[in-house]
A = this chain, B = another copy of it.
């Protein structure tokens, strides 16, 4: 990287504006914005006109620009921009988690082929420097697990539910009103957003490149007052937890709601904050927390990436390049709370072990052990009257290869 970083920005919303402000406040980072590509020429802008362009090629083929900062929403358009930028030898900073998760292998290969860095600290848990820490500090093969609250919108909703004793729909509406949830909240509420982040984390934790489709996600969309009351009675909170964990040298991963006890550090993470537990041999755990969403936390992570580029920093994908000796499995067991309408019983043969069952006139639940493969194939996932939450005391157990899960047996038949 040359002594002075010359930036081309795609998008100039809150994050871009914040970035501009910060760059003009700090003397430490030698970076200058040359050009900003925008979509809407009619919006009033805070900078002189000569900064702006509607033509992406004014940045992508501008020889004075050596770093492209991509901050647009559309993942596919973003990927095209990032691809051409890397092909033109420009370093790229992005926060677009879906774009990265969808195109991980291509983005990895583009970096190798053109020998230019792509940094994306802001893509996972915004202000928490988790990727950098996984890549640099935990650069050995001693990591056992990374799990946490990766989505600020749903955590805000869950916090409201438990603090103000309100139901899911009311909490969602409140979150939308103050801008913590989108008008279409599906990506957050159904746990796609934390899944994209988990895919990125998986690459830097275990060297595993997986497609989002390979990772299971189940959100909080079916959370009922019955579930909330169950949690309250036990002294739990419900959190939407993304996890990846090495069990018997296989990796288990997914995103599911979980009952969390007060002694779990994730219990203390409220509102739009994110929290991440990193388990490694010899240290039990480390815990990271910080704002997981919003223009300023995202802007500060983007800024840190820009700064890192001035020191020639790049992800080395050490764990992947070392030759990943681990693979993702769905053949593991998990202890779940499954709640359903009493009038519409569930197939109890799904459970290899039933620990509790309960029913009243309206609602029923079973707490028991289910194989993750069976859960992924179960029609319970489609039922609106069903909710699935990981038990507070759950331990993941990988199933030895010889044993077939119910789902596999069905396939065989």
Contacts and interface: CB of A to CB of B under 8 A. Distances in A.
A132 interface: yes
B142 A300 contact: yes
Contacts of A287: 287-290
Contact of A127 (B128, B132, B283, B299): B283
Contacts of A268: 265, 268
B29 A140 contact: yes
Contact of A297 (B28, B282, B303, B304): B282
Given A28-B322, A137-B129, A265-B289, A297 B283 contact: yes
Nearest to A141: B28
A356 interface: no
A290 B285 contact: yes
Interface in A47-88: none
Contacts of A304: 137-140
A281 to B, nearest CB: 7
B283 A136 contact: no
B283 A140 contact: no
Contact of A26 (B133, B142, B289, B308): B142
A364 B93 CA distance: 58
A67 B410 CA distance: 58
Interface in A195-211: none
Contacts of A313: 136
A283 B303 contact: no
13 contacts: A22-B282, A28-B142, A129-B137, A140-B303, A142-B300, A265-B268, A280-B300, A282-B300, A283-B290, A283-B297, A284-B297, A286-B290, A288-B288
- Rank and list the top 4 A-B pairs by shortest CB-CB distance, nearest first: A286-B290, A282-B296, A287-B289, A127-B283
